[in-house]
Amino acid sequence: MKVIGAGLPRTGTLSQKVALEMLGFGPCYHMVNVLTDLPLARQWEAAMDGEADWDEIFGEHESTVDWPGAFFYRALADAYPEAKVVLSTRDPDAWEKSMRETIWNTIYGHSPMAHISKARELVDPAWHEYIRLMSRMWAAQGIFAGSELRPGQLAEASTRYQEQVQRNIPEDRLLVWSVQEGWEPLCEFLEIDVPDAQFPRLNDSKMYTDRVVDASLMVLQEWRARDGAEFPARQPA
């Protein structure tokens, strides 16, 4: 592990993942790893219980950004003392808006996407485990723990989190950076040349929404074809 992303989700982490891979620090672990292989959530549940084998979890990955890896930035910084830490940031109010429309909405909201996700939880145990993991992580980080959410709460939490990271990681090992700053600060920090390529700017909000909705609809269609109209009795926690 050479680069540890400590930034919260919704801070341009998908662009950061692609940028690090373009710079030669790939493959880069990201939440998409878990979303495309849901049983991996069990490894991260074990990590939350203090049973993490980081080399097994990350395998050949040379960097990690976004959750679930960023949740464990302090443990990873200790486990890989030569790795540098990048704290990706975003305007707190913009971050709150993005979170409300995506991750918080999926878990606790009442939008069509949220209802589709909840229906999938009823028929897909792996998705149920993934949502349980996400709920647990956000609560453990002290950012949100349920459907009660006052205006400004998430913005305040993101500011507290950024301050926490800057207290916990030595200044000479940490880059506080926004994807809007592009290549130069990142490359200087990583001590490599700026590539002759445009910095990647991906719409990870759209990617997240498409992945949740499209994958959930596919699972529900498969359930309908296989099991008919009766939902199982189990309810999501």
Q: Across-strand partners of 88? A: 177
**What pLDDT is recorded for position 210?**
83
**What pLDDT is recorded for position 230?**
57
The phi and psi torsions of 170 (rounded to 5 degrees) equal -55, 145
* Whether residue 232 has pLDDT greater than 90: no
> pLDDT digits over 91-110, tens only?
999 999 999 999 999 999 99
Reported confidence tier of residue 234, pLDDT bands at 50, 70, 90: low
* Whether residue 3 has pLDDT greater than 60: yes
Mean pLDDT of 5-10: 96
Residue appearing with tokens 């990583």 = 190
Q: Using an 8 Å Cβ cutoff, are 121 and 236 in contact?
A: yes
What is the token pair recorded at 17? Answer: 């993942």
Helix intervals (H) in 89-203: 92-101, 103-108, 112-123, 125-140, 153-168, 183-190
Give the single-character DSSP code of 33.
H
* Whether residue 47 has pLDDT greater than 80: yes
Angle between helices 125-140 and 112-123 (to 10 degrees): 120
What is the token pair recorded at 30? Answer: 């990201």
**What pLDDT is recorded for position 70?**
97
Helix (H) or strand (E) holding 34: helix 31-35
What is the token pair recorded at 212? Answer: 């949740």
> pLDDT digits over 179-213, tens only?
999 999 999 999 999 999 999 988 777 778 888 89
Higher pLDDT, 211 or 230: 211
Mean pLDDT of the chain: 92
Sign of CA dihedral 215, 220, 221, 227: positive
pTM as predicted:
0.90
> pLDDT digits over 49-84, tens only?
999 999 999 999 999 999 999 999 999 999 999 999
* Whether residue 235 has pLDDT greater than 70: no
For residue 187, with 0-12 CB atoms within 10 Å meaning exposed, 13-18 middle and 19 or more buried, which class applies?
Answer: middle
What are the structural domains, with CATH classification, of the chain?
3-227 (3.40.50.300)
